[in-house]
Amino acid sequence: MAVPPEFIEDLRQRVPLSDLIGKRVKLVRKGRRFTGLCPFHSEKTPSFSVVDDQGFYHCFGCGAHGDAISFLRETDGLDFMEAVERLAGMAGLEVPRSAPEDPQRTRQRKAALDILEETTRVFQAALQRNDGQACATYLQRRGLAESVIATYRLGYAPRSGLRTALAARGFSDEDMLAAGVLRRSDRDGELYDYFRDRVMFPIEDRQGRVIAFGARALGDAQPKYLNSGEGPTFSKKNVLYGWVQAREGLRRGLPLVVAEGYMDVIAIQKSGVATAVAPLGTALTEEQIGLLWKLHDEPVLCFDGDAAGQRAQARALERLLPQLQPGKSARLAVLPSGQDPDDLLQSEGGDGLLKVLSMARSLIDSLWAITAEQHDLRQPEQRAQFWQAVRDQVRQIGHGQVRGAFSDEIEARIAAMRTAGRASGRGGVAGGPVRPRVRRPAAGAIHRHRAICALILAHPELVPDMFESLLGIDSGDAGLEALKKAAIDAVIRDPDLDAATLRHHLNGLNLAEAIGVLEGDEMKARMPFDPDKISGADAGQHLKELLQLVGGASGLFSSGASIPR
């Protein structure tokens, strides 16, 4: 249903953004804008701004940006029309409707939501009864505390009794059938409870409403896993399990993992080191990829380390490449063979999962490596086929600029293979597949690079004037380079960033460890000045001298030495 643009604009004018956001966030007026703690990530120093007269909010810490409609969509999980209707209700307006809604369909959807909510309560209660003891024992054996069971509203589907319980609350068989909790037997036409003697996983929409169920058999019943069928509330291609809980985890700055199953999602969330969602028994759909990017710009897709996991990676690449947008990507992580995330967490804890996530490959590295593994690069015809295959993959990218950037990188790698092959006399490959060469930083020079990063973190205003020089140096340390690039990107996007807000932003990108190195005792002992306590002019002078030194690659920044003045 289309809504006239002028109505949307009228809504934005009638409902001051600060009034809407002020119901959730304590805002303090500062001139023409309001500031407060960001509702989209955890922070202690306010970096969230609301500008009423221009109708937008912006967080200098996590980059969240939008208007009243996007705020409601992100905080309450509403779709566009639901957000418009919420705003219209606040403004006392009726949403103009270009097409009448089917009242029967509307009634059936509401009845289905009510039935699914009541069914969830029935299953939760059954978990506490004697007939639910085997289910409760299973969940305890999987290490789930009562608080986790309550958060995900897990329950037990008894062998019978659901239809009777729902009928007692006034629901008709017709509506129970439409909601998917009853089925009609093909053999004799009798009605029966669809879920029986199973662990129940309620599937919620982005507003936290139960719209379907996933179920796991406790005994030998087949199939082992069973989902609700498509219906008035549920289309599995448009849903990710664990969305609501993942959104809360992301506000605490946790990485987003895409796992395969319900228990994997719950185990990852329970670990406290990451947050997670899962597709519902199928490969990621286009719609689910879009949902992922609403949560996080670069989720980590986690796959088993066996042959099936490798095939799943290839399928994920096929789905992701056509959807890529500037700033929207993914990384691919591979678990130890034979382990899923729940197994890994039980054997190695949160540190084991973080280690796997830290080794996740970028999309372009994954594309290159997965395609290369399908060819014998020692053979010239196989190398040519590999080059053609990887180029064909890149052509699947729909966005022109992203496709061009990937193509440039792929051509550079192919050229490097040719150069390495000619140098080795093997015509295109030196000793097998070419892998990026890892450069190790010189022992003394690395401290100069760290000093440069410490200065731009304390004085981000220096970045625009020295942008090209900063990008022209490379420490050879991956963590330090990631920190430097992220800091430069943030300042270029917003030249008014102060040091505190920049640190908030970088911490939200999981760069706290790299920042800690710059602020550690070893670095303080080597620095002849405190970057946080010197003036901007002095910081600029030190930065110029350091850039000259690392550019010339002369001398050492040794312990006890000072920067030449």
Question: What pLDDT is attached to residue 426?
Answer: 54
Enter the DSSP assignment of 284.
P
User: Under a CB-based contact definition with an 8 Å cutoff, are residues 236 and 109 in contact?
Assistant: no
Residue 239 pLDDT more than 80?
Answer: yes
Instruction: Give the fold, CATH level 3, of 243-367.
Output: Dna Topoisomerase Vi A Subunit; Chain: A, domain 2 (3.40.1360)
Residue 374 pLDDT more than 70?
Answer: yes
Give the number of other CB atoms < 10 A from CB of residue 565: 7
Q: Give the whole-angstrom CA distance, residue 138 versus residue 159.
A: 17
328 three-class SS = strand
For residue 427, give Cα distances in angstroms to 147, 375, 411, 433. 62, 16, 17, 13
Question: What pLDDT is attached to residue 176?
Answer: 96
User: Under a CB-based contact definition with an 8 Å cutoff, are residues 120 and 155 in contact?
Assistant: yes
CATH 3.90.980.10 fits 103-234, yes or no: yes
CATH no. for 5-91: 3.90.580.10
Residue 97 pLDDT more than 80?
Answer: no
Q: Give the whole-angstrom CA distance, residue 400 versus residue 344.
A: 39
> What is the radius of gyration, based on Cα positions, of the chain?
28
pLDDT per residue as tens digits for the range 305-324: 777 777 888 888 899 999 99
Contacts of 271 (CB under 8 A, 6+ apart): 345, 349, 350, 353
The H or E element containing residue 289 is helix 286-295
Higher pLDDT, 511 or 357: 357
pTM above 0.75, yes or no: no
User: Under a CB-based contact definition with an 8 Å cutoff, are residues 353 and 405 in contact?
Assistant: no
Enter the DSSP assignment of 465.
G
Question: What pLDDT is attached to residue 444?
Answer: 57
pLDDT per residue as tens digits for the range 437-483: 333 334 457 888 999 999 999 999 898 878 778 877 888 888 888 89
Flag the least confident range among 1-15, 140-154, 201-215: 1-15
Residue 556 pLDDT more than 70?
Answer: no
Question: What pLDDT is attached to residue 564?
Answer: 34
Higher pLDDT, 398 or 422: 398
Q: What are phi and psi of 332, to 5 degrees?
A: -115, 120
Residue with tokens 């990631």: 482
Give the number of other CB atoms < 10 A from CB of residue 501: 20
Q: What are phi and psi of 157, to 5 degrees?
A: -90, 110
DSSP string computed for 161-196: -HHHHHHHTT--HHHHHHHTSEEE-TTT--EEESS-
Question: What pLDDT is attached to residue 511?
Answer: 83
Nearest to 315 by CA among 224, 411, 393: 393
Q: What are phi and psi of 371, to 5 degrees?
A: -70, -40
Domain range summary for the chain, segments of one domain joined by +: 5-91, 103-234, 243-367, 378-424, 445-552
Q: Give the whole-angstrom CA distance, residue 144 versus residue 228.
A: 24
∠ CA 408-414-418, nearest 5°, is 140
Residue 431 pLDDT more than 50?
Answer: no
Contacts of 145 (CB under 8 A, 6+ apart): 270
Question: What pLDDT is attached to residue 435?
Answer: 41
Which pairing describes strands 33-36 and 48-51: parallel, antiparallel, or unpaired? antiparallel
Q: Give the whole-angstrom CA distance, residue 303 versus residue 335.
A: 6
SS3 labels along 487-552: HHHHHHHCCCCCHHHHHHHHHCCCCHHHHHHHHCHHHHHHCCCCCCCCCHHHHHHHHHHHHHHHHH
Question: What pLDDT is attached to residue 439?
Answer: 38
